[in-house]
Amino acid sequence: MQLKIALLPGDGIGPEVIDQAVKVVKAIGKKFGHSLSFETGLVGACAIDATGDPYPDTSHDICVGADAVLFGAIGDPKYDNDPKAKVRPEQGLLRMRQKLGLFANVRPTFTFPSLVHKSPLKLDRVDGVDFVFFRELTGGIYFGEPRGRNEQGTKAFDTNVYSKEEIVRLARMGFEAARGRRKLLTCVDKANVMATSRLWRETVQELALEYPDVKVEYEFVDAVAMRLIQWPKAYDVLITENLFGDILTDEASVISGSMGLMPSASLGSKVKLFEPIHGSYPQAAGKNIANPLATILSAAMMFDYAFGLKAESNAISDVVNQSLAEGMVTEDIAEGGKAYTTSEVGDWLAERLATN
């Protein structure tokens, strides 16, 4: 199979972890007989530095011309610490999602048998956790108009807007996923106070009639925030709007024990994008200490969601579990034993795939 992959390494540790994912993807290609090609584009702070644009047209063209996109991370302290900056790396991320039609962010949360003790939660709460968020990604308060400040600069405003069509296309993905899992779907909203949330709840109630085999629960976002900590095993598939999903998925990401372990996918009408859930971690950039496993597991999701190659996806997941069980890990999850570098972990995974 011919696979054309766009690489957007981004900022901070992004290039380092993407390099390791590419090693693994190449090993999979060789193992399963796929022909691979890669093309790299700029996004984020590095793109601003080079072109003045956080998501230049050249990068967009590379993405549109690919079968899938592997994305690292964006962000730089010089922009984080300057709230008045007119051009920001995050603008590139939002524009990328919008221009590529990436309306659904898929963020799984699961635990690893060899690392379950690393979770900040008690063992009985997290052992066996396996749920997935479907977050709407191109609507809501991040894109709504009007937004800005008054002339005096003393008031600021953002507008939260959703259409029924935006809700249906995201919710339908959630229902279909639930059918293939435990047939439980939770709609997360704030329908007691927000008009957009009431539209979400009404729309999901209507759509649920098409999926009588799926049990649907409706919970307020604040209750879900508590229950994710109290009893995360209560959930299977959760659907929610952009802002709520942004916050809740970051909360859920620490359940596994490290933000460096969780992958994600952004799906839409034009191309599919895969990325780790962690940020650019600028303090570690260039030190060869960042955990590449979330990015490598994102590559596993790519083989499954973008190419329909389940065996290839499972091969990556299996070798990642082997690395964790055998202690081939970076310093963020090393315990007592040796901590390996980012590149050493990538090399080990690629070599193990070649010999397994």
3-state secondary structure of 91: helix
142 is catalytic: yes
Choose the catalytic residue: 79, 142, 162, 340: 142
For residues 29 and 356, what is the distance between their CA atoms, to the nearest angstrom?
A: 14
Q: Could you give the dihedral angle defined by the CA atoms of residues 332, 225, 208 and 272, in that order, rounded to the nearest 10 degrees?
A: -30
222 is catalytic: yes
Q: Which residues contact 14 (CB under 8 A, 6 or more apart)?
A: 44, 71, 72, 73, 74, 280
3-state secondary structure of 133: strand
Spatial contact of 303 and 313, defined as CB atoms under 8 Å apart: yes
Strands 273-276 and 156-157: unpaired
Choose the catalytic residue: 222, 287, 310, 338: 222
Choose the catalytic residue: 23, 76, 162, 190: 190
Strands 156-157 and 148-149: antiparallel
Instruction: Give residue for tokens 């649907």.
Output: 216
Q: What pairs with residue 102 in β-bridges?
A: 268
190 is catalytic: yes
236 is catalytic: no
Choose the catalytic residue: 53, 127, 130, 246: 246
C-alpha distances (whole Å) from 293 to each of 215, 304, 345, 354 are 33, 17, 8, 18
Return the closest-CA partner of residue 269 out of 132, 142, 170, 162: 170
Is omega for the bond preceding 146 within 30 degrees of 0, making it cis? yes
Choose the catalytic residue: 67, 130, 158, 250: 250
Helix axes 14-32 and 342-355, enclosed angle (nearest 10): 10
Concatenate the DSSP letters of all residues of 26-46 into one string.
HHHHHHHT-EEEEEE---THH
> Which DSSP symbol is given to 305?
I
Positions annotated as catalytic residues are 142, 190, 222, 246, 250
